[in-house]
């Protein structure tokens, strides 16, 4: 899984990306592990944008209402007054939704600037509406749209004033520059605020993405650790219990006919049980060591078990002896020089342990179990375990139903080093496990995986 971070969205002035309101939890600094942003008032209005929109709508409503009333009291046709009132009401409604329809607001404002007639004071109202529209375009749409409507609004204001006779043609150019300066200032302020908002949104999005990746990595690490612990516990518990059960069954059968053999078998059971308990304490001690609440932190504490290295190839013969004591007729053949790579030795040990456990649990009356370990090729180790049993016994007292976890764990352990495992029945009877394990030239090669 790739953990490369995704690129952070850039806040560009010419971007056409719409600035959408985010959900409240996306801006929660505590959830993202960020310090609380400054500016309580700004944060409040950012989370409650309708307050500002309602205030702007109310102020513009009173300004436009005054313009309409002043036009009605003069010698202006009633139709023109009604048109001015309709345009003012439409502009007022558009201001309330300026965050969502800024282009419509800019278009209505341009029409309002053009619909100026002698005796009407609506020119200033139209300029106010266009200023609000340009700011909204720069913040919630793009700088390109804001600049385009700046030119359109300037031309509309100038043409409207000229057509109404409010300006002389000689001063039309000066008026054009004056209107343009007002609209350019509104656009620049909107671009500055919009870019800052887009930049903050990109930072919050990046922080949220990093938080999600952190949580995902923690979940992956937890799942990997659980799988590793499950394999270790399976090696310790399932294998040891299998041998102990076989020894106990043998001791039960020999209790009356051969008491000495029964006593030897129970002695093996006791020894294997103590060894398994020690190994389990080591595993649990590693789990609690980091939290500081386990005995592994204090070797002098009661019940503390010192940590020990993982099994090596030297412990393979004692392992096979324990299975022989449980009743398996095992023959061991080793070819070549044992590699110094501790990871390879551990993998060989675990493969043999799992294969012999399966033979002890599922193979019925095997006459031989052959264990072959081939180190002839310095770059490749091969392990073969084959028995000639008839399969799972039908006696309900000794039948054992497997979950398949052992074979899965074996394949995962070998695949970790680039090897393969083949397991299956062979003719005329029996079961065969064959594993190939690449041997690293340098033991550090495995530790870096």
Neighbouring C-alpha atoms within 13 Å toward the C-beta of 32: 18
Assess contact for 242 and 46: CB atoms under 8 A. no
User: Which letter, b or e, does each residue of 204-228 get, where b requires 16 or more Cβ atoms within 10 Å of its Cβ?
Assistant: bebbbeeeeeeeeeeeeeeeeeeee
State the pairing for strand pair 420-425/431-438. antiparallel
Question: Do residues 420 and 436 touch, judged by C-beta distance below 8 A?
Answer: yes
What are 361-419's pLDDT values in tens digits?
888 888 899 999 999 988 899 999 999 887 654 443 444 445 566 777 788 888 888 89
Number of alpha carbons in the 13 Å side-chain half-sphere of residue 418: 9
Chain CA centroid to CA 364, Å: 48
Q: Please choose, from the candidates 420, 314, 334, 410, the residue with its C-alpha nearest in 3D space to the C-alpha of residue 374.
A: 334
**How far, in Å, CA of 112 to CA of 24, rounded?**
37
Of the CA atoms within 13 Å of residue 105, those in its CB half-sphere come to 30
CA distance 166 to 182: 18
pLDDT of residue 61: 78
Total residues belonging to the chain: 449
User: Could you read off the pLDDT of 121-176 as tens digits, one per residue?
Assistant: 556 778 888 999 999 999 998 899 999 999 999 988 888 877 766 666 666 677 78
Q: What is the pLDDT along the chain (449 residues), one digit of tens a residue?
A: 334 444 444 444 344 444 444 444 455 556 666 666 666 676 777 777 788 888 888 888 777 776 666 655 656 667 666 777 777 788 888 888 888 889 999 998 888 888 765 555 556 778 888 999 999 999 998 899 999 999 999 988 888 877 766 666 666 677 788 888 999 999 999 999 888 888 888 888 888 888 888 888 888 877 776 777 777 776 667 677 777 777 787 778 777 788 887 788 788 778 777 777 777 766 666 555 544 444 444 444 444 555 556 788 888 998 888 888 878 899 999 999 999 888 888 889 989 988 888 888 888 888 899 999 999 988 899 999 999 887 654 443 444 445 566 777 788 888 888 899 998 888 888 899 999 999 864 444 444 34
Q: Identify which of 402, 432, 17 has the alpha carbon closest to the alpha carbon of residue 242.
A: 402
Edge to edge, the sheet with strand 420-425 lists 330-336, 369-375, 380-387, 431-438, 420-425
pLDDT score recorded for residue 150: 93
pLDDT of residue 40: 67
Closest to 145 (Cα-Cα) out of 160, 155, 135: 135
pTM, whole model, 2 decimals? 0.46
118 is written with which tokens? 């002698």
Distance CA 360, CA 277 (A): 21
């Amino acid at each position: 899984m790739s953990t490369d971070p995704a690129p952070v969205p850039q806040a560009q002035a010419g971007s056409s990306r719409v600035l959408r309101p985010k959900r409240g939890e996306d801006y929660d600094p505590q959830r993202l592990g960020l310090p609380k942003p400054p500016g309580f008032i700004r944060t409040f209005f950012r989370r409650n944008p309708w307050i500002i929109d309602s205030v702007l709508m109310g102020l513009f409503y009173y300004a436009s209402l005054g313009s309409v009333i002043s036009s009605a009291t003069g010698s202006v046709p009633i139709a023109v007054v009604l048109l001015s009132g309709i345009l003012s009401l439409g502009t007022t409604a558009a201001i309330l939704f300026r965050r969502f329809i800024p282009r419509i607001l800019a278009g209505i404002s341009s029409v309002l600037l053009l619909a100026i007639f002698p005796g009407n004071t609506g020119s200033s109202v139209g300029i106010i509406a266009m200023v609000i529209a340009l700011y909204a375009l720069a913040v919630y749409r793009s700088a390109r749209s804001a600049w385009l409507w700046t030119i359109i609004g300037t031309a509309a204001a100038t043409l409207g004033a000229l057509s109404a006779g409010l300006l002389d043609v000689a001063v039309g150019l000066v008026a054009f520059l004056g209107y343009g300066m007002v609209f350019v200032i509104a656009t620049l302020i909107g671009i500055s605020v919009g870019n800052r908002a887009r930049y903050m949104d990109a930072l919050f999005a990046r922080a949220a993405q990093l938080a999600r990746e952190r949580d995902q990595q923690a979940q992956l690490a937890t799942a990997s650790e659980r799988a590793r612990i499950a394999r270790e516990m399976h090696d310790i518990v399932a294998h040891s219990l299998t041998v102990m059960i076989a020894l106990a069954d043998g001791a039960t059968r020999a209790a009356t006919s051969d008491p000495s053999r029964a006593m030897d078998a129970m002695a093996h059971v006791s020894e294997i049980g103590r060894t398994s308990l020690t190994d389990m304490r080591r595993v649990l001690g590693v789990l609690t060591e980091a939290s500081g609440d386990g005995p592994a932190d204090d070797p002098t504490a009661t019940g503390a078990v010192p940590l020990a290295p993982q099994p090596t190839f030297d412990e393979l013969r004692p392992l096979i002896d324990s299975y022989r004591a449980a009743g398996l007729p095992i023959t061991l053949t080793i070819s070549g020089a044992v590699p110094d790579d501790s990871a390879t030795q551990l993998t060989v040990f675990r493969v043999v342990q799992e294969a012999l456990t399966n033979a002890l649990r599922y193979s019925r009356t095997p006459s031989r179990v052959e264990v072959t370990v081939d180190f002839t090729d310095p770059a490749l180790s091969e392990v073969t375990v084959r028995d000639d049993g008839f399969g799972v016994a039908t006696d309900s007292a000794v039948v054992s139903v497997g979950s398949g976890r052992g074979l899965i764990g074996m394949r995962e352990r070998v695949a970790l080093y680039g090897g393969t495992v083949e397991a299956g029945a062979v003719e005329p009877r029996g079961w065969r496990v064959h594993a190939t394990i690449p041997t690293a030239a340098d033991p550090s090669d495995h530790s870096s995986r």
